[in-house]
Structure formats: structure tokens, C-alpha cells
Amino acid sequence: MSEPPQKLTKADLEIGRIYYDMLVEQARVGDTLSYGDLVAGAKVRHPDNEFVQRAIAVSAGRRLEAVRVFTNERGYPDITSLVVNAATGEVGSAFGTDPVARRAEIAEFDWSSVDEQFELYISDQHAGPPVKRRKVRAVEARRMIWDFYTVNKAALPADVVADRDDLLTRVMDGHAVADAFEQILAARKPSR
């Protein structure tokens, strides 16, 4: 059973806007980039953006949802398929059977013709009603954390389990699991 899509948060929208600009640049050069490279590139370009500096590769897919919703609603090529898994060099199976053909569509599409539409879309989403977080019971929160950890274990520091109580509190309070992990890991990094 698949989970219903979560509402886009302020972080999703802000990071999605930045990722969109980077993806348009990638489309122009006709190349892909890994989730890790996307996150690292955004951090270099936006050193003062708190959302970007807290971002981690394992939650990049969620952040790309703001871009994916925009392109899907308008029938534009899914530019998020330029982001690939570093290990496989390709997108996941959710993108269909021919990602190469999709990337050809992306390369041919005139992204400059929709830049303004994307900015308006992001502004409209920001102006929408505030996102209400749904409180989660402890048992469900533990399951959600475990599921996320199991899938992303290789990309997370081994000692992240030391923060399980903080993770549990954040998820029970209604934060998305990826956001909770991002917040925990960002708090560990010394300020610059």
C-alpha cells in the first residue's frame, strides 16, 4: 500500500526552486547528475540558505517533488529524471522503461519558456494555507523511522541511531521522516 503524497513544505518549495534552476542548466548541457552532486552543488551555490545547507541526498527525491508536480500538471517533460542514482547511473523504475528517451525530450524542450511559470507556481504554493502537520503515534513513528533508515542506511552515518529519541519526537510531532533526519544531521555540523 503506497502512502498518500505529503503536502509540499516551505523547505520542499525553496529547495525545489533551487534544484529546478540546476536541472535546467543540466538540460542545456544534456547530462545527468547524481542526487549527491545535486545536493552538494546547491550547497556551494547557496551557502546562506538554511534549507539548502541542511539538505541531504537521501531526501533529495522528496525535494524534487515540487518540480515533478509542476511538470506533471502542465504536461512538460519530467526534468527530475536528470537526477540519477550514483551507484547505478540511472533513474529508478518509477520513471518508466526508457529514461534515455525522456532525457531527449528534456533536452529538446524550451525551458526558458516556462521559467516564469515555475516561479509563479512556487510563489502560489508559498502563498497557500500553512501546512498542518499530522501528529503520529509512537508505534507508527518508529515504523516510519525504521523504514526510512532501512532504505537509506548506506547514506546515513552509522551513529545516527544515537539520535533516535530526537528523531522519534520530531516524527511524532508531524515532521516528515526525511526532514527529521535532515534536521538531526544538520544540528551535528558545526556552524561556519
Q: Tell me the average pLDDT across 119-126.
A: 81
Give the residue carrying C-alpha cell 503536502.
7
Q: Is residue 182 within 8 Å of residue 59, measured between CB atoms?
A: yes
Are the beta carbons of 54 and 186 closer than 8 angstroms? yes
Burial of 157 (0-12, 13-18, 19+ CB in 10 A): exposed
pLDDT confidence bin for 185, thresholds 50/70/90: confident
- In the predicted model, what is the mean pLDDT of residues 95-115? 84
Using CA atoms, how far apart are residues 186 and 124, in angstroms rounded to an integer?
28
- What is the rounded distance in angstroms from the CA atom of residue 189 to the CA atom of residue 192? 9
- For the segment 98-121, the average pLDDT, to the nearest whole number, is 87
Q: Cβ(26)–Cβ(33) under 8 Å? A: yes
Cβ(61)–Cβ(35) below 8 Å: yes
Are the beta carbons of 38 and 83 closer than 8 angstroms? yes
Inform me whether the pLDDT recorded for 3 exceeds 50: no
How does DSSP classify residue 97?
Answer: S
